[in-house]
């Protein structure tokens, strides 16, 4: 029991989720945002509140992008299938709609493999972030110490996240 929730009285994210869906796009909802709105002003861009920083963060080529969600993983495959069935349709919106519809049609078990894949990506993402984080610390010297200090392979890179490997799934193996 967590005494009380955060700022809002709504302890159910479901309610919000519904709202989000209702609105269609989660943009400028202005529902319970009165609070953070004061500070964030309009929208909290990418990380930084100041538009100035916005570009800074956006210009980070080393910054790992967000991992694809289960839906995106599914989309990747769906796109291929959709393309074969609809070679004429190359609009991303078409695949998005069709994919979204199909996605909802799938059962939890069917989404399971996709979620598993997405989960794996998430782990990798966190790992990349770890490296990215470190980089930020030693940015003072060199961004990529590839010649001086040579670090062949860091095996125990897992901080606290245990990664489960599926032998049956295709994974990136070792690179020599």
In the complex, which residues of this chain contact DNA (CB under 7 A)?
2-8, 10-13, 15-16, 19, 24-40, 42-49, 58, 65-72, 75-76, 79, 90-93, 95-97, 99-100, 103-104, 115, 118, 122, 125, 129
What is the rounded distance in angstroms from the CA atom of residue 16 to the CA atom of residue 19?
5
At its nearest, how many Å lie between DNA and the CB of residue 126? 7
What is the rounded distance in angstroms from the CA atom of residue 84 to the CA atom of residue 36?
46
What is the rounded distance in angstroms from the CA atom of residue 150 to the CA atom of residue 159?
21
At its nearest, how many Å lie between DNA and the CB of residue 49? 4
* CA nearest neighbour of 127 among 117, 135, 139: 135
At its nearest, how many Å lie between DNA and the CB of residue 66? 4
Question: Of all helices (H) and strands (E), which one includes residue 97?
Answer: helix 92-105
Shorter beta-carbon distance to DNA: residue 66 or 153: 66
Shorter beta-carbon distance to DNA: residue 47 or 145: 47
């Amino acid at each position: 029991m967590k005494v009380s929730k955060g700022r809002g009285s709504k302890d159910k994210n479901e309610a919000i989720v519904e709202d989000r869906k209702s609105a269609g796009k989660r943009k400028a909802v202005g529902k319970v945002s009165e609070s953070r709105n004061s500070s964030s002003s309009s929208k909290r861009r990418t990380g930084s509140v100041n538009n100035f920083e916005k570009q800074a963060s956006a210009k980070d080529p080393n910054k790992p992008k967000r991992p694809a969600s289960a839906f995106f993983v599914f989309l990747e495959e769906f796109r291929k299938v959709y393309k074969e069935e609809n070679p004429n349709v190359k609009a991303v919106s078409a695949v998005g709609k069709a994919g979204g519809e199909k996605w909802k049609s799938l059962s939890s078990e069917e989404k399971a493999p996709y979620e598993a894949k997405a989960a794996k990506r998430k782990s990798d993402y966190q790992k990349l972030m770890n490296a990215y984080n470190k980089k930020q610390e030693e940015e003072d010297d060199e961004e990529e110490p590839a010649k001086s200090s040579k670090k062949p392979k860091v095996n125990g890179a897992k901080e606290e996240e245990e990664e489960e490997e599926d032998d049956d799934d295709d994974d990136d193996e070792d690179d020599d």
